[in-house]
Amino acid sequence: MKISNGVSRWLLALSILITVTGLCRASDPGSTGRQPANSIIVAVNQDTTFPAPNATVFYSVNGTQLTYQSATNTGGYGIQGGFFGTSRVSSVPSLSAPCIYTSDASSNDIASISLPSQQLVGTFFPSSTDDGSANGIGLAVNSSYLYASFTASNTIGTFSLQSGCGLAFLGDVSAVGLQGGSITGMAVNGTMLVVAYGDGSIESFSVSGGLPVSNGDRQNSAGYTGSSSCPNCYSGSLPSGVDLTADGQFALFGDIAAKTIVEVSSLTTGKLTPTVAYRVGNAVDAGAIRLSPDESLLYIANSEAGSVTAAFFDKTTGAVAAGCTSHTLKGFNALPWLGSVVTRDPTGTGNILYVDEFARDTSEVNHGAASQIGILAITSNGTSCSLTETSTSPILLTFPGALSIGVYPPRPF
């Protein structure tokens, strides 16, 4: 499932006015444009398209409150749409590398921003044949390399990380699903890169040498083909979001499906094994997923239902069990799609969950609707849990079209 480029066009006229207003706020007297190095920063890729330039918008965190800080122009242009599971903003999972990377899918570049100054370091380009204009450019970063999935050219570009948050393009490789799909979700951990193609198929790559090399395990998922291990699942589910465990032993996939379906594959053999599918709720879609820092919970954006689900995850066996689902998020009468989910804290359950909400309904957008950030408090005792939207939620953004959100300091894997 994707948000069509047609939606981007509907939002274009509004984005011109709203984006310029949002960028001007960066010079507000109350905005310092800087953040102490030990503070939590929330970053949103606003994904603005022509003629207004894209920006990464920063918020400071105080408890459950988010406060606008600044908007850093990326030097490129977004598309205001694309795949739910595509991460358009990322950072190195390390406190020693305070850099935020943002993709610009229309201009086909990666912007690098230094923290805590929130200043643009540079805009970096892949080869002339790499193209993410169809449904976005996904990002995954390890300690040495940044990987960018280009959804129009069906390629993965590799950049080496340079000092001072710079990037150097190394090359690209072809990556296309068994049914011709483009990469919807992607995750890297150490020397393993795993992708979902959005057409029912998945694949892993070795990145021990930098450039991805297929492990020869491209396959259709159990959720797509139908699985006797999950009699309450539905065949035709399409893996979208991807996450990996800290030890690299399991790959997890969130499916676009009529119910909340997730799948798990073991990586103990050095490649993907056939997935096991689990139905963990009744809400539509698991378009984007994120493990909690302690890996006890898997957070799931029910992308077309306006809710968030938490499932219990056993990091030893890879088993997933139903947990809890939030109420419909506030403001869902504006019919948003849900994008990425991330935790506020890099330890434990993460304590607070942020979810990016895309305002999709044409009539609402024409009346000034914009994207927003939902904020949910997490409670869990290991056998039961709850996701409760806070009184400070949602945070209304000053632009439409955002689907990706990040947090720094990052989760350590």
Q: What pLDDT is attached to residue 360?
A: 60
| Domain-located, residue 92 | no
Tell me: pLDDT of 161 over 50: yes
Q: Which H or E run includes 20?
A: helix 5-24
User: Does residue 339 fall inside a structural domain?
Assistant: yes
Kindly state whether residue 261 falls inside one of the protein's structural domains: no
**18 has a pLDDT exceeding 90:** no
Residue 28 lies in a domain: no
Question: For residue 19, what pLDDT is reported?
Answer: 32
Answer whether residue 191 is part of any domain. Answer: no
For CA atoms 220, 226, 227, 233, the dihedral sign is positive
- Determine the structural domain holding residue 340 and report its residue range: 284-396
Give the tens place of pLDDT for each residue, 191-221.
999 999 999 999 999 999 999 999 999 999 9
Contact present, 100 and 76 (Cβ < 8 Å): no
Rounded-to-integer distance, Cα 406 and Cα 342, Å? 7
What does the pLDDT read at residue 398?
79
Partnered with residue 189 across adjacent β-strands are 192
Lowest-confidence range among 66-80, 275-289, 322-336? 322-336
Report yes or no on 165 lying in a domain. Answer: no
In a domain, 128, yes or no: no
The pLDDT assigned to 228 comes to: 78
Please report whether residue 116 resides in a domain: no
Number of domains in the chain: 1
CA distances to 189, 276, 321 from 247, rounded to whole Å, are 8, 19, 20
